[in-house]
Amino acid sequence: MSVTEKDIKNAAPAANPQHTEEMLEAVCAVARSREATPVPAGKTRVAVLMSGGVDSSATAYLLKEQGYDVVGVTGWLIKSGSRCCDTGMIDAARVCEQLGVDHHAVDLRELFKTQIIDDFHQSYARARTPLPCSLCNTVIKWGALMNYGRKILGAEYIATGHYGRIEEIDGQVRLARAKDPKKDQSYVLWGLTLDQLKHTLLPLGDYSKDEIRAIAAKADLTTANRPDSQDLCFIPMGKTPQEYLSGFLPELPGPILHALTGDLMGEHKGTHNFTIGQRRGINISYKEPLYVTSIDPDMRIVYVGPKEALLRRELTASFMNWMLEAPPVEPFRAQVKIRYNSPTAPALVTPLPDNKASVLFDEAQPAITPGQVLGVYDLSDAYIMGGGWID
């Protein structure tokens, strides 16, 4: 089953996922006249969002084994030439056939382009380093596909192959870290609302990746040995993000200045080729290693300096989302994460007007980068409380 978006208005700014509700509702309106298989009596339906990888395949298998009425759902995201969409939908359909469950393909190519791909281009043009997979979670998975699962398929829950755990503590639903700290993906799920969390299942959170591959192999799933995806799905294989962006953003040369002395160090061909903390690719010979410390896209200036010039204690973030019964209004202590592969650090978080927040770290952090995600965890570092986009 395929859903088209030809009549959907492109009315939402790509940088703000909160503005996509009208568009997401329109996706469901197009499909509302289509009939879904009735939910069997006594069963609870779960729409499993399937990419064609081993994690989402194992998720579908585990939930079927637990007695849920499973329906596989795959978003068709790329117009052409995507290694993910070219094989992912086929592999997902094959796994569903193995499991004896229905599979639905939802055409979200236009939504994905306007909200994820175009935002990626625009972010780099504004000297922001985006995290498109996190935005995709909010807009696509827990946006359009969750709406499709709940409103069109009659699913009470959606489920994904993310590694995290949903727990109830004193009557409060919380998003906890996964059992395997190396696979924990709670950070990229910061954009879930509390209502979405209550209608989500994450069965992989109690397993390691090796255990999941073993489960998939024992079940003889066709995706058991499929390698993990390491790159962004819309960037052609073999290309760097900068090589890819060169086809969309013009060359706008400018100076490279030393952040501490103001000396002219060289020239560049466009600020979109740089990100905060970058060391390789600056192409400047100097007496000490140089890192990109800041970028001014309006003046076309890239600032570089020694590693210590990357250190900052403060940041602000916008579009804050809190997975709490009520958002905080007073400053509070927390563990804070500023990029996917960095550890959390203790800090004071202060809620601000207009859905913003400021953070003051106990110790200076390296390479705080605009466009990346601020993840706010509780003091025990066990649960993510919410997050936002670093300004």
Q: Which residues pair with 267 in a beta bridge?
A: 255
Question: Is 85 noted as a catalytic residue in this protein?
Answer: no
From the list 198, 131, 134, the residue with the least C-alpha distance to 162 is 134
Q: Report the C-alpha gap between 30 and 126 in whole angstroms.
A: 34
Distance CA 80, CA 306 (A): 42
Which of the following is catalytic: 28, 84, 133, 233? 233
Active site residue 28: no
Annotated catalytic residues are: 136, 233
